[in-house]
Structure 1
Amino acid sequence: MSSPPRQHPGALSLGAAREHLWSAVLQGDEGRAAAVVLDALDASADAETVLLDLIAPVQARVGTEWAANRLTVAQEHTATAIHERVIAVLAHRPDRPAETPSGPRVTVACVDGEWHALPARLLAEVLRLRGWRVDFLGAHVPTPHLIAHLHRTGPRAVALSSSIPTHLPTAHMAVTACQAAGVPVIAGGAAFGPDGRYARALGADGWAPDARGAAEVLERGLDRPGPPGVHHTVDDLPHLADQEYTIVAGTTHRLVKQTLADLEDRFEPMRRYTERQRRHTAEDLAHIVEYLATSLYVADEELFTRFILWTADILTARGVPARSLDPALDLLTLQLKDFPRACHTLAHAREALGNRTPPSTIPGPGKPA
């Protein structure tokens, strides 16, 4: 299926629109945000450009500003909610003629546990614009429900979205289940790595860095994985036989509890923490262990290192010394001394942390759920 010709507004007008949209969502002004988007549509006559070159970059800026502690969680949630409603206005504007899509059917869904649905929503709208019949299932779709939907509707492909790397094991189960149902999978979102390395490691049939790229991959077509019901053995993760992932993931609570207790002896400022600060520290430790387990799952220590460096930048932006990570990583290493891959991953992160230069902006790997 060929793509319609694209028209793009001038760089200055699009840049100005981004600034106006940013100002509107920052102030929580939904009406003004909708007006900016509709004005941009009138100027470009191209809804795909408005979705991907106006709304998407502003939403990315929302995440960056939150990470740098320049937006509150409430402001971030407000901006995201405004963008979701503006996309709905764009999709269902009164002057748009009602059309029945005649193209192939596709299912777009977020993996179980993934609540960041906006990237998947953008893809769903782009595919609709290109004539696909889209079933958008939204955030946090349990795999059994996804598979039941595939059996009922028989789509040509599934587009799975995930922003948080700790959802990769769950994504792996979803990919395998979809393929066992005879439906190929394209994976997308920050969780799968900037170059799609984790999508490939988990056996996905395709990957794209953004919605426009995903639409183009789907238009070229994905090979079906085989007859429905045939389970394909995954040989890409032989390292899981050592059980390190299983044991670390299964003992997260114990690891966090012991590390939190031992930190009071190793990190003197913690002895003066309030109950709220201790609770936040426990949450941070839980995220660290979850990312460590995920790194073990995909056998990529860089995944954990990127998260630790991002966490250091987040702590710095919030006035917490990044050096507080050092004793935490040391204590985890002591508890996991019998797990060579875990120890090597922790050591690699410690070395990177020692060489860290704080950046002026914090793009990050995606916020922990």
Structure 2
Amino acid sequence: MNLNENEYLQLFGWNESWRTLFLASGYEGLIPARIIAQFANQYRVITSHGECQAAVSGKFMFEAATRSDYPGVGDWTAVQPLPGESRVIIQAVLPRKSMMLRRAAGTIPEEQVIGANIDTLLIVSALNEDFNIRKIERYLIAAWESGAVPVVLLTKADLCAEVQDRIAAVEAAAPGVAVHAVSALQDQGREALSAYLQPGHTAALTGSSGVGKSTLLNWLAGGDLQRVQEIREDDARGRHTTTHRELFPLPCGAVMLDTPGMRELQLWEAGDGRQEAFADIEAAASACRYRDCRHEGEDGCAVKQAIADGGLDPLRLASYRKTGRELRHIARKEQQLSNRNKKSAGKRSDAYYNRNKHKRAED
């Protein structure tokens, strides 16, 4: 592909807004680059000269306080080209307009960036044995918290005889969210996605393993961008086809972020996202007699009354409670870790002061 310098960046979403932000940030001697793939601590970026490898600078690593301070796929960065080399050094990350987080694996509570600067988050769920409303609710919490606009895509519509019923079920659990059923195999539903794949926009695919994200990407791209593995349709179990996060330019001018499948999305801090995802419960709760109502049978509980009247699904309330407990647990663990870190930092500071005090006395 023969592209001029500006077209390389524009292919991955560069526009006048990002240019203005970059220039206003005063990155003298640096050039813009977007993270298009990540492999552990190494990155692949697109610059005005094409693709190259990248790593963060030592100064960047020293100043990064959390994992989310590090670049993620989709980030626009300021990089320093190395003379005579086909790689660059990442010196800064431009302010993000959206960022999807999840809790990283491990016992230490840390956040992990799934993707940054996403305009539309396409939550993918297959219309097979893996279809699960509760999973979709979890992704909606993360989506609303990210700042991106969530859309639910129900794939493999050709395998389901109850498509409209399942669309209605998802719409009931996702107030205000668009829901579309598609089939890449039958080339059904492509036109409904055009509104989310406008030139310069970034969309991201997220969902469990085996829901058809890579197939969906290949279908929209009109070619084999990602390898696809078969799943066992009797239990809908699939292996991870995608092993890393990566951005792909589409023929329509949009950019698509493909992500590895997750058995279960581990939530990170998402207070506002939870309120958005369960807006119907929050609205009903505003009419409860007591402000601190737990919706467990208190007098004047509007949520329990809505369930009794058939306006709310009791399973949805159970999911609301479960995610609330999970987020409160994460907050407590993070606070405990923060307190330990402050205590350790204080001890190191005291030790440093005492060493220098003795040294001054000897002098």
User: Shorter-normalised TM-score: what interval?
Assistant: under 0.3
Greater percentage in strand: 2
TM-score w.r.t. structure 2 length? 0.25
Larger Rg: 1 or 2? 2
TM-score w.r.t. structure 1 length? 0.25
